[in-house]
């Protein structure tokens, strides 16, 4: 007896097409949001200086510094001197990195070079 087996036919898998969702925010707005969330990094050298000099900066102050450095970078400032109540920081705005730090009393007797802007908070 000859029997014929039926093998079910399965068409090749076709992934469903995904519809791209229209975004309401422009690319520049999305970029601005991403940049504004960027936090300042602190170099190993700056961490050592902050510890040696017992300089403490609150989270609120760090956020304020981050925001103003980001704004300065947008205006073309590459390496600002940031003066806050208890410290002077030199920041690489492009890399969002604090390069060095000193207390304000020490900063009075210093000559700052290689900076192209000053931010006073």
Please report, to the nearest 10 degrees, the dihedral formed by the alpha carbons of residues 32, 38, 42, 44 taken in order: -110
pLDDT of residue 106: 87
Question: Structure pTM?
Answer: 0.66
Mean pLDDT of the chain: 82
In the three-class reduction of DSSP (H, G, I as helix; E, B as strand; rest coil), residue 44 is classed as helix
> Is it the case that residue 115 has pLDDT exceeding 60?
yes
- Render pLDDT for 74-85 as a digit per residue (tens, 0 to 9): 999 999 999 999
pLDDT of residue 15: 64
Angle (CA) 50 110 89, round 5°: 35
> Is it the case that residue 49 has pLDDT exceeding 60?
yes
Tokens for 12?
Answer: 């090749």
Per-residue confidence band for 36, with pLDDT thresholds at 50, 70 and 90? low
Residue 4 pairs in a beta bridge with none
- Render pLDDT for 78-104 as a digit per residue (tens, 0 to 9): 999 999 999 999 999 989 999 999 998
Q: Which of 51, 59, 58, 29 is nearest to 101 (CA)?
A: 51
């Amino acid at each position: 007896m000859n029997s014929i087996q039926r093998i079910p036919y399965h068409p090749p898998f076709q992934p469903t097409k995904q519809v791209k969702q229209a975004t309401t925010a422009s690319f520049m707005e999305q970029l601005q949001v991403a940049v504004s969330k960027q936090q300042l990094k602190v170099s190993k050298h700056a961490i050592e200086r902050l510890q040696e000099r017992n300089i403490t900066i609150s989270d609120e102050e760090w956020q304020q510094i981050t925001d103003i450095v980001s704004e300065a970078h947008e205006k073309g400032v590459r390496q600002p001197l940031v003066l806050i109540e208890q410290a002077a920081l030199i920041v690489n705005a492009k890399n969002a990195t604090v390069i060095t730090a000193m207390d304000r009393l020490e900063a009075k007797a210093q000559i700052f070079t290689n900076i192209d802007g000053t931010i006073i908070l």
